[in-house]
Amino acid sequence: MGAVVRTAGGELRGRVVDGVHEFLGVPYAAPPSGSNRLRPPQPVEPWSGLRDATRPGPSPPQVAPPEGAGSGWETAVTGADCLTLNVWTPDPGAGGLPVMVWIQGGMFEIGATAAYDGRHFARDGVVCVVINWRLGADGFLFLGDGPANLGLLDQVAALQWVHEHITSFGGDPDNVTVFGESAGAMSIGVLLAMPRAEGLFRRAILQSGAAHHTISAETASRVGRHLAQTLGVSPSREAIAAVPVERLLAAQAELKADLLAHPDPGRWGHDVVTCVMLWQPVVDGQTLPGPPVERIAAGAAAHVDLVVGTNADDWRLFLAISGELGQITEEVLTGPVSVHGFRSLAAYGLPVERVLAAYRERYPGAAPGELLASVETDWWVRIPAIRLADAHAGPTSRTYMYEFAWAAPGLGAVHALEIPFVFDRLGGDAPLFGPLIGDSAPQALADTMHAAWISFAATGDPGWPTYDVHRRATMRFDTASQVVDDPRAWERALWQGTR
């Protein structure tokens, strides 16, 4: 029989699995339905008696992930009572344990706690928390008639819950590390700059995502109006909140298909056409006062220790799983925004001839699809990671840089591949990439990365030299991991003034 813990909402009964106490589906905010729909997260209503906490809560309502997104996307069971989290702890009766809070990726459109298991963090002395938060229009609709960034406010509410309750699970509320990947890391890049998140975490790890991906209030309002038009309702929060969830999700899918078919910056806004993400954090001037990387450079999060990094072949994943990698031609590379349904370098607003010449010199003989994947990796995640590290490095906190370089057979060191290593869950049940990494994944690398993440959470030191703008020390994780100084100097110089 599992342990019982008491929270402000009531008592929870979890279970013990392999010596780890887990409490699943724990509410940190009221269900965002009914009068709470499209509103900031509201307090949990207390319950009487023991609440069962042995199963994850429903996933947030979301459009289905694309084909080939990988295993682990548990999106089938969705529901209104989705603002929940899962906790794994070695001992609820302990005290002062480091806390790690995972924020999942998924383009701000898909994802759920059920895809991640934190028991190996708990096995090694950490209280691990994985959170759900609102996605798509539910999380990022903005029309100027209410608060922006509800999905980020959900994350803040979850961190506030951790701050108030984690002692009941053995954790130290003053030693919280947020870590996340892709849109989860991009979320953390915004949290670093959000006044409402200040003081809720001491450290942060950003995996293949940084602080560049936001949209303006004007662009977000434009997207919101297009959504209302697709739904056939007035462009107001109240009207859209009255639309059934299934119809809202269908309209989001229609809108995404329209964007992909007609990537017109005049219709959507350049920042949406560039990254093809309709729903992103909004620089609204209130919940997010300004562009995150600028606020961080100005001193926001100056007392937060930071690890930021990318994978060597990050964005190759999406061209590979879509089958487009071998279909990209020279015509696509150098053409307009969209050529025969494929996105070109022009889609990113780049000086195409200069950039392409530099990558061809760097990767002689590379096929057009491989060149596009390298450029996209740098635009999406690598250059933003370097810029974030540059903005954050200073005397009041520690900054660390890494690169994950182990290549899955036939795939490369692609986006999200590091997750099973970080969670120390290799093999067939590994989150997201179990079938792809198979039996070839080196356990020694998982041991190294997992231990580094825990060391950083516990002490602020992952085990390699800090990053500064002179040496730019970078830990390159591979079968033989080593520190490399300024490994991406040519990309950093090439993109200066462009990204």
Tokens representing 454 are 């825990």
pLDDT digits (tens, 9 = 90+) for 174-200: 999 999 999 999 999 999 999 999 999
In a domain, 281, yes or no: no
Across-strand partners of 21? 16, 89
Q: Given its phi and psi angles, is residue 277 left (phi above 0), alpha (psi -120 to 50 degrees) or beta?
A: beta
Read off the pLDDT of each residue in 95-101 and give the average, rounded to a whole number: 97
311, 403 Cβ separation under 8 angstroms: yes
Domain holding 245, by residue range, is: 216-275
What percent of the chain has a predicted confidence (pLDDT) above 90?
83
Do both 181 and 80 map to the same domain? yes
Do both 81 and 177 map to the same domain? yes
In DSSP notation, 272-284 reads: HHHHT-SS--EE-
pLDDT tier at 122, thresholds 50, 70, 90: very high
Count of domains for the chain: 2
Is residue 335 within a helix (H) or strand (E), and if so which, with residue range? Answer: none
Do both 192 and 247 map to the same domain? no
Q: What's the confidence (pLDDT) of residue 71?
A: 40
Do both 349 and 362 map to the same domain? yes
Domain end residue (candidates: 275, 302, 323): 275
In a domain, 350, yes or no: yes
In a domain, 280, yes or no: no
Read off the pLDDT of each residue in 279-292 and give the average, rounded to a whole number: 97
Do both 208 and 264 map to the same domain? no
Does residue 341 carry a pLDDT above 80?
no
Beta strands in 104-237 (DSSP E): 127-131, 171-181, 203-207, 215-216
Do both 344 and 450 map to the same domain? yes
Q: What's the confidence (pLDDT) of residue 79?
A: 81
In a domain, 16, yes or no: yes
Residue 185 burial by Cβ neighbours in a 10 Å radius (0-12, 13-18, 19+): buried
pLDDT digits (tens, 9 = 90+) for 197-226: 999 999 999 999 999 999 999 999 999 999
R_g over Cα of the chain: 22
Read off the pLDDT of each residue in 277-302 and give the average, rounded to a whole number: 97
Q: What's the confidence (pLDDT) of residue 72?
A: 45
Read off the pLDDT of each residue in 332-351 and give the average, rounded to a whole number: 82
Do both 361 and 454 map to the same domain? yes
Do both 35 and 161 map to the same domain? yes
Average pLDDT, the chain: 93
Read off the pLDDT of each residue in 369-375 and give the average, rounded to a whole number: 96
Q: What's the confidence (pLDDT) of residue 233?
A: 98
Do both 257 and 306 map to the same domain? no
Does residue 327 carry a pLDDT above 80?
yes
* CATH number of the domain encompassing residue 38: 3.40.50.1820
Do both 203 and 220 map to the same domain? no
- Mean pLDDT is lowest, of 95-109, 258-272, 372-386, 441-455, for 258-272
Do both 428 and 463 map to the same domain? yes
Do both 116 and 162 map to the same domain? yes
